[in-house]
Structure 1
Amino acid sequence: MSHPDLNLLVTLDALLAEGSVAHAARRLGLSPSAMSRALARLREATGDPLLVRAGRGLVPTPRALELSERVGLLLEEVEAVLRPAEALDLSKLTRTFTLRASDGFVENFGPDLIARVNREAPGVRLRFVPKQDKDSGPLRDGSIDMETGVIGKATGPEVRVQALFSDRFVGVVRADHPLSAGQITPSRYAAARHVLVSRRGSEKGYLDDILEIQGIRREIGTMVGGFAAALALARASDMVATVPERHTRDLRADMFSFALPVPVPEITISLFWHPRMDADPAHRWLRGCVRDVCAASAGQGRAEA
């Protein structure tokens, strides 16, 4: 089935407005012969002569008069679609954005982000969903609007990425834990029982690979799916939780935190979104809010260090 030539709508609008092939041709910058051919195509497409000779001029048929108003409205709608987006009015914006992030990110950055959004765009709601993996499928299909985390092998090559801040891992124990006194050596750290954070239920983590290079092996006492759960267990037991420092700042407030006794590379927390959202004004505004909130929090973290 052939698709209609939508350019014919522009031609029909000019012919109906001018009532003359020559005048319509001048209006559209065409030659009279090209306009005559376009009129022939319109007649074939509609099954109606549309304009018929009356003396020296042309008059519209009833079908042409019926189409006249509809064609004008259609062209107005097309022009509106192709017109650049109007300036974003945050006070009138009504929209729900879905952000996929870890519990730690939501707990530490969520309150400031929500407060910022409420001040600038009261009609906007944020919906946070947990990170089960690093698959970029939800960004592609639009089920989430943006995501925060560390770049992984499952991150799609087309996904836009912007670094937010760097974080480092620290050890955390309850306030009166034996490790809260004295020097924390690699052997003391490894000898304690540890909470392993693994979303996939693995019995070995990123940190274990680093420790093994230095001939150290820690004892895993239990495994959990998130940093909040790891800290809750460490607070109520003799176990050690190893967590990102800035992600868990508030959760560690009443606990003893210490620098790891082995060198561990920092991680970069980034913001991810699909390229189709690049030019969306509201999405661009929210990306800026996330960046600002994270920058302010990172600066506070450096000041407290």
Structure 2
Amino acid sequence: MCYRILMNLPDLNLLITLDAVLSEGSVAGAARRLGLSPSAMSRALARLREVTGDPLLVRAGRGLTPTPRAVLLREQVGPVLLAAQQLLQPAAALDVAGLARTFTLRVSDGFVDNFGPTLLAHVAAQAPAVRLSFVQKIDRDSQALRSGAVDLETGVIGADSAPELRVQALFRDQFIGVARADHPLIGQLHTLEGYCQGSHVALARQGMPHGPVDVALQALGRQRRIVAQVSGFATALALARASELIASVPARHTGQLRDGMHSFALPFAAPTFTVSLMWHPRMEGDAAHRWLRGCVRAVCAASL
């Protein structure tokens, strides 16, 4: 079907010939303009007459005069050729300082708190008219990237991630324990016994009953006593700050949120994971999008 459609398309090179013929008003002038022989230009004019169904230029004394259709086409062909030339050439260099655009970033919990202020400052210093819109990532569904509703997304790549997405690693993160500064078990939390003895707030996501921390404990034949479940790191830390609950959260994602609290290394092999930047392939060559990706990478790298 597509092959037949292409076969039925007119020779678009005739637009160049049409523009030359109508601009010059003569076969000889058009031939000189395009570097063709008069006979070759005459054949090209014959093809144009066949394609348009109009004589275009008719004899008037010693010269040629355009038909009404030719006069109309003369006004149209120039802009069409200019538009085609603009389409079929590399994009102009990006003017970052003059860029005015809104980008939507779908980010995992804690990303805005820890990287948002620096990213906003980084972007504003280069492109004052750019606006960033942050939306929270509550699942792994990539439809928003596919539809164009979201420009960039951060998160952990899993087996259920869309295979067509472009991915670039941003940083490694690791789970740590967090409790309020005057927690009654503060001196024992660095031991496995003390950690398991306390009461915990856990992350419950996508209907998963056990997170990576619980899987690591199970490998040791142990389990923690979970008394509350929440959907995000910020909520878990808010509860831990105001109670005797212990939260186990990613270190880099929660740096700002843990201010004033007691953070400690988990007393067992702490789960680690890679946070990546994701985007749809259709945005790969977009200069402004590529610039923003560089901004995100730079900000995350600077926080190491």
TM over 0.5: same fold? yes
Opposite residue 136 of structure 2, the aligned amino acid is P
Please identify, of 141-150 and 60-69, the stretch whose mean Cα deviation from structure 2 is larger: 60-69
After superposition, the Cα gap between the structure-2 partners of 1:180 and 1:82, relative to the gap in structure 1 and judged at 3 Å, is: same
After superposition, the Cα gap between the structure-2 partners of 1:57 and 1:249, relative to the gap in structure 1 and judged at 3 Å, is: same
Structure 1 residue 100 corresponds to structure 2 residue 106: yes
Q: Which residue of 1 aligns with 2:135?
A: 129
Contact kept, 8 Å, 2:230 with 2:236, in 1: the verdict is yes
Please identify, of 16-25 and 149-158, the stretch whose mean Cα deviation from structure 2 is larger: 16-25
- In the TM superposition, what is the alpha-carbon distance from 1:199 to its structure 2 partner? 2.8
Of 144, 149, 153, 2:150 maps to 144
Where 1:86 maps in the other structure, the secondary structure is coil
Please identify, of 53-62 and 273-282, the stretch whose mean Cα deviation from structure 2 is larger: 53-62
Opposite residue 115 of structure 1, the aligned amino acid is A
Q: Show CA shifts across 1:153-183 (max 9, x none).
A: 2322221111111111101111111332146
Partners in 1 of 2:300 and 2:85 — Cα distance? Answer: 40
Partners in 1 of 2:40 and 2:134 — Cα distance? Answer: 58
Where structure 1 has 5 or more consecutive residues not aligned to the other structure, the ranges are: 299-305
Contact kept, 8 Å, 2:212 with 2:271, in 1: the verdict is no
Q: Which residue of 2 aligns with 1:302?
A: none
Of 68, 76, 80, 1:74 maps to 80
Q: Which residue of 2 aligns with 1:15?
A: 21
Q: Which residue of 1 aligns with 2:283?
A: 277
Q: Which residue of 2 aligns with 1:190?
A: 196
Q: Show CA shifts across 1:221-269 (max 9, x none).
A: 1111110000011111221111010110111111111101111242111
Opposite residue 248 of structure 1, the aligned amino acid is T
Of 106, 110, 115, 2:116 maps to 110
Opposite residue 231 of structure 1, the aligned amino acid is L
Partners in 2 of 1:261 and 1:183 — Cα distance? Answer: 8
Q: Show CA shifts across 1:90-116 (max 9, x none).
A: 221110000010230000000011111
Q: Which residue of 2 aligns with 1:153?
A: 159
Where structure 2 has 5 or more consecutive residues not aligned to the other structure, the ranges are: none
Q: Show CA shifts across 1:120-173 (max 9, x none).
A: 111000000010112222111111000111112232222111111111110111
Please identify, of 120-129 and 206-215, the stretch whose mean Cα deviation from structure 2 is larger: 206-215
Of 208, 216, 222, 1:216 maps to 222
Q: Show CA shifts across 1:264-304 (max 9, x none).
A: 24211111111221221111111111111111112xxxxxx
Task: After TM superposition, list the pairs within 5 Å mapping 1:246-285 onto structure 2.
Answer: 246-285=252-291
Partners in 2 of 1:30 and 1:209 — Cα distance? Answer: 77
Please identify, of 179-188 and 217-226, the stretch whose mean Cα deviation from structure 2 is larger: 179-188
Where 1:178 maps in the other structure, the secondary structure is coil
- In the TM superposition, what is the alpha-carbon distance from 1:27 to its structure 2 partner? 4.5
Partners in 2 of 1:28 and 1:198 — Cα distance? Answer: 71
Partners in 1 of 2:132 and 2:236 — Cα distance? Answer: 26
Partners in 2 of 1:229 and 1:63 — Cα distance? Answer: 71
Opposite residue 108 of structure 1, the aligned amino acid is N
Q: Which residue of 1 aligns with 2:249?
A: 243
Opposite residue 179 of structure 1, the aligned amino acid is L
Of 191, 195, 200, 2:206 maps to 200
Partners in 1 of 2:108 and 2:59 — Cα distance? Answer: 73
Q: Which residue of 2 aligns with 1:171?
A: 177
After superposition, the Cα gap between the structure-2 partners of 1:21 and 1:234, relative to the gap in structure 1 and judged at 3 Å, is: same
Opposite residue 43 of structure 1, the aligned amino acid is R
Structure 1 residue 48 corresponds to structure 2 residue 54: yes
What count of residue pairs does the alignment treat as equivalent? 298
Please identify, of 198-207 and 36-45, the stretch whose mean Cα deviation from structure 2 is larger: 36-45
Partners in 1 of 2:37 and 2:219 — Cα distance? Answer: 79
After superposition, the Cα gap between the structure-2 partners of 1:199 and 1:40, relative to the gap in structure 1 and judged at 3 Å, is: farther
Contact kept, 8 Å, 2:178 with 2:240, in 1: the verdict is yes
Counting aligned pairs with the same residue, the percent is 63
After superposition, the Cα gap between the structure-2 partners of 1:157 and 1:183, relative to the gap in structure 1 and judged at 3 Å, is: closer
Q: CA RMSD in A?
A: 2.2
